[in-house]
Chain A
Amino acid sequence: EAGVAQSPRYKIIEKRQSVAFWCNPISGHATLYWYQQILGQGPKLLIQFQNNGVVDDSQLPKDRFSAERLKGVDSTLKIQPAKLEDSAVYLCASSLVLASEQFFGPGTRLTVL
């Protein structure tokens, strides 16, 4: 079974630029999550989708971050414009149903200069 795919794996941008990350969850997984993990900290949930609907986006900085999951399969997370403090690993995870085991992708390491 293929795991959660994410791209790119690494991205370096300058502040005020835009960036987008892509995630393809495990086939059949209804729930998709985006996390931000700053070095030395636990993952912080940014947004959670159930199929193509948003379940929770309370911690998403909506002035600069946006995410979508068209057709309830793959998802994109965008940052526009980026700030220095956005430097982190962005993890995508999926689960079969809400509150079940989450499978994480390899993450995208973002560096904002």
Chain B
Amino acid sequence: GQQVMQIPQYQHVQEGEDFTTYCNSSTTLSNIQWYKQRPGGHPVFLIQLVKSGEVKKQKRLTFQFGEAKKNSSLHITATQTTDVGTYFCGYNKLIFGAGTRLAVHP
């Protein structure tokens, strides 16, 4: 069946450093959504990407959908302690990746 790998599993950064998480699929995805889950919280929707090569920005967050619609990335510029949490990609109907846990050290 369709599988999506999300990397890295964990990322520790110093506050102010950049962070990127990747979602890679072996097959073409119809769409991709990104969610953030704070420790002890529930997933919160960030963005949905549908078009090949699509790039969307939300303040310090940049989301990309690959040309082949098989991969996606979330990039955070100049991380802050408020960025701490686990970032999940979800695709198609929705199936979630395993997530990337981000820790930010002040």
Contacts and interface: CB of A to CB of B under 8 A. Distances in A.
A45 B94 contact: yes
Interface string A64-103: 0000000000000000000000000001010000111111
A51 B93 CA distance: 16
Interface in B81-101: 88, 90, 92-99
A101 B94 contact: no
A43 B31 contact: no
Contacts of B30: 99
A101 B45 contact: yes
Contacts, number: 46
Interface residues of B, number: 21
Given A41-B98, A43-B88, A101-B33, A48 B93 contact: yes
A25 interface: no
B47 to A, nearest CB: 9
A35 B43 CA distance: 11
A35 to B, nearest CB: 8
Nearest to B30: A99
Contacts of A48: 93
Contact of A45 (B41, B93, B97): B93
Contacts of B31: 99
B80 interface: no
B48 interface: yes
B95 A105 contact: no
Nearest to A104: B42
Given A33-B94, A42-B96, A45-B94, A106 B42 contact: yes
5 contacts: A42-B6, A42-B96, A45-B93, A102-B35, A104-B42
